[in-house]
Amino acid sequence: MNFVFVSLQRINTNRESTSTSLAKELARQHHKVLYVNSPLDRKEYFFPSSDSGITDHLQVIKTQADPLQKLAPNLWVLYPLRRLDSFNWIRSTNLFSWLIKLNNRRLANDIKPALKELGFEEFILVNDKDIFRSFYLKEFLQPLKYIYLDRDYTIGMPYWRRHGQVLEPRLMTKADAIFCNSLDFTTNARRYNANSFYIGNGFAAKQFTSDSATAVPADLATIAGPRIGYVGALITLRLDLDLLRELAQERPEWSFVLIGWEDEDFAQSDLHKMPNVFFLGRKHTQEVHAYIQHFDVCINPQVLNDITRSNFPLKILEYLALGKPVVATTTNTMTEEFSNYTYLATNKEEYLQKIEQALQEESLQKKADRIQFVQKFSWENVVKLFVKHVDEVLAK
């Protein structure tokens, strides 16, 4: 089959997303895939950030390089040349939805020549949460089927809230199918579209493997155990900063190791003054597994809100793939998918109890069971399920 992906994420980043991983695995499984990088808006064009994805995109535009480039067998990336306008300042959703049609048409006009060059006369269009820029692409591109990927609570964020609360349900309704990475998202999607399927999430199974031991990274080697570790963005929108503080205060003999970039609240928090809390900064994706391997317990102390309550935390898969005991905040997804292979908690007391339990109960058998269980979430298996549901939609 031929697939075209539009997404909020660019494919040339050091951290994979649902859409980039699906696209790459589909290509490996001999489907042809065109991945459309996010188009630049006027602000990004005239006042570019240091983000490598944006600078690469600008380089293509300014040097008049071929906007369609082959990344791998069966996989191409398109750098849209037309600049888009921002209309999010407009308060009226009806006027906003009329104006974004201009952006959608510009993007469609960049995609059409690539479709012709690749010979994509029929294709499946997959929209990964690009609510505004791709709202009308079904009409403009006339795909064989239009699939909406629902894998995050985007409309909980300020930028998306005003118009997204109205437009995302409309987009879900007119899609031919919705594919979701969490059980809660699937339940919600079925309110708008009966063709809503749960596909779960995936992880880089070959990268996160415990087959070969790695040396302890230098900045971790000096930290005494037991090491209680977290890897991911350190932002109060998703993590319970107060819970982390209380855990560190209650167990001064434990070392809490936090890896990831920090928002202002974390950067200014008193966690930085605590002798048993260690901030090791942001690490490249290729380095992360070396740190996780040398944690004694991995944690995901997320705060529960509209953004986090229904999500499928990728880091849980990465922790389990390395055989690590995991203590995480209780959610529907954690309970339904992971309760037999993780320790779930709802407050400080339960977190302390579960971490102590994880330290005491650890065994080679438990480690092997976790590694075996998590293999079903490899991108290879997720894509097989993805294609199975695409076939079902096509059959209808």
Report residue 360 as tokens.
């005491």
CATH T-level topology, domain 218-376: Rossmann fold (3.40.50)
In one-letter notation, the amino acid at residue 282 is R
Q: Which residues of 82-115 are buried (b: 16+ CB within 10 A; e: fewer)?
A: ebbeebeebeeeeebbeebeebbebbbebbeebb
User: CA separation (Å) from 90 to 43, 93, 95?
Assistant: 17, 8, 8
Structural class in CATH, domain 2-202+378-395: alpha beta
Average pLDDT on 241-255 reads: 97
Give the C-alpha separation, 11 to 35, whole Å. Answer: 7
Average pLDDT on 114-133 reads: 97
Give the C-alpha separation, 302 to 126, whole Å. Answer: 29
CB distance 164 to 183 below 8 Å: no
- Summary mean pLDDT of the chain: 93
- Within 10 angstroms of residue 18's Cβ, the number of other Cβ atoms is 24
Q: Which residues of 161-173 are buried (b: 16+ CB within 10 A; e: fewer)?
A: ebbbeebbbebbe
Average pLDDT on 121-143 reads: 97
User: Is the model's pLDDT at 307 over the cut of 80?
Assistant: no
User: Is the model's pLDDT at 312 over the cut of 90?
Assistant: no
Burial (0-12, 13-18, 19+ Cβ within 10 Å), 321: buried
Sheet (strand 255-259) strand order: 277-281, 255-259, 227-231, 297-300, 326-329, 343-345
Give the C-alpha separation, 223 to 229, whole Å. Answer: 11
Where along the chain do its domains lie? Answer: 2-202+378-395, 218-376
Complete DSSP assignment for 253-266? TSEEEEES-B-HHH
Average pLDDT on 233-256 reads: 95
What pLDDT does 48 receive?
80
Average pLDDT on 84-102 reads: 94
* Higher-pLDDT residue of 229, 203: 229
Helix (H) or strand (E) holding 147: strand 145-150
Give the C-alpha separation, 132 to 88, whole Å. Answer: 10
Give the C-alpha separation, 346 to 309, whole Å. Answer: 12
Which pTM was predicted?
Answer: 0.86
Average pLDDT on 258-285 reads: 94
pLDDT band at 212 (very low <50, low <70, confident <90, very high): low
Express each pLDDT in 32-84 by its tens digit. 999 999 999 888 888 888 778 888 899 899 899 999 999 999 999 999 999 99
Give the percent of the chain with pLDDT over 90.
Answer: 77
Express each pLDDT in 164-186 by its tens digit. 999 999 999 999 999 999 899 99
DSSP structural state of residue 376 = G
